[in-house]
Amino acid sequence: MPYSRRVFANDGTIDSDELAMRERPGLGDGTVDEAERAVASRLFARVAPDTVCPGVWDEICRFKAEHSIS
């Protein structure tokens, strides 16, 4: 099962542990390439600020801005 479906499978949202797990592969080599940006963009598009705790939303926004993810 693709990772993005596993993240949302248990409760339909993403928590801080799942977010950290999602960030790790892209940062393993210190950069986020275009393929990783595309996956992250699709994943983050499924998250709304009212469905996650404020800290998770802030981290998503920071990660997106830092790595030019739309």
Q: From CA 31, how far away is CA 40, in angstroms rounded? A: 13
Vertex 35 angle, CA 34 and 40, to 5°: 95
Q: What pTM does this model have? A: 0.69
Distance from C-alpha of 55 to C-alpha of 59, rounded to nearest angstrom: 6
Average pLDDT of the chain is 76
Runs of H (alpha helix) within the chain = 3-9, 16-27, 34-45, 54-66
pLDDT digits (tens, 9 = 90+) for 34-55: 988 888 898 888 888 988 889 8
Q: Cα–Cα distance between 69 and 18 in angstroms, integer?
A: 18
The count of other CB atoms within 10 Å of the CB of residue 36 is 19
